[in-house]
Amino acid sequence: MNIFWEVIMISMKKLGLILCTAVLSVGLLAGCGSDKKEAQLTQTAGVLKVGSETTFPPFEFAEENTNKYIGFDVDLSEEVAKRLGLKLEFVSMGFDALIPATQSGNIDMIAAGINATPEREKALAFSEPYFKEGGFITIVRKDNTDIKKMDDLTNKRVGVQIGTVPVEMAKAIPGTDVKEMDSNSNIFMALQAGTIDGAIIDQAVAMYYLKQGADKDLKLVGEGTDAPPFVLGFNKSNTALRDKVNEALKAMREDGTYQKIYSKWFAK
């Protein structure tokens, strides 16, 4: 009888050891899975999905012959993705859809010339500033003699891009009939057609359009106003990705890559 119970006890000890090992193995596997999930910076493994409004040259726009997205922000995002070991997926959408898309996880990052305003910082995690130049300026038809500066837009029809800082700037001018439009290209077409009297847009974008031939019909008037710097935007819960992007931007400045990209699009 003693031998019988001794065999039973040994068997139970072995079974307990097997069960403990199995539980430990499952725990380790779960831990590994958790670490893997935490290490994944983007919604889709291996892909950096960047949202932008692609009528904002020279920052982002569609190349005329190929419809491929090109520009300063595109090149910058491509380099950042490469340094993070990710493939870039550049997604075009309306400017006013960018923040909701980031909050819902449909995109990982915004690269669309967004100014670092306090209102946007409530909704997004910001990168370090990556571009600061110019500001906002008034643009009118070349045959317009009434509007010589931004304050002259009083009681005028003023075009602005929906969701941008110039919307509030235009509304602050007394008597303006503010026309919010989906894109800068629509603003330029409205100016040329005479359906608006003037527009307030980013100075770098305005100068690029004029250099591309729009100066035959349009002109800049007055002085540019100051504007907050451009930043990249992220979901507030994904500061890990934001921090990695900041590291990449810092390295790009230090090794000359940032200046190379800048010179490509903003050479005098």
Q: Percent of the chain at pLDDT above 90?
A: 79
The boundaries of every CATH 3.40.190.10 domain in the chain are 47-132+229-266, 136-225
| Residues paired with 159 in a beta bridge | 179, 199
Distance CA 107, CA 103 (A): 8
Average pLDDT on 179-202 reads: 96
| CATH topology (fold) of 136-225 | D-Maltodextrin-Binding Protein; domain 2 (3.40.190)
Greater model confidence, 267 or 105:
105
Residue 85 Rama label (left phi>0; alpha psi -120 to 50; beta):
left
Q: Are strands 136-141 and 218-225 parallel, antiparallel or unpaired?
A: antiparallel
pTM: 0.80
Q: Supply the DSSP symbol for 256.
A: T
**Per residue in 23-71, pLDDT tens?**
434 443 444 443 444 457 899 999 999 999 999 999 999 998 898 999 9
Distance CA 230, CA 130 (A): 6
CATH architecture of 47-132+229-266: 3-Layer(aba) Sandwich (3.40)
Distance CA 61, CA 113 (A): 12
Distance CA 200, CA 66 (A): 30
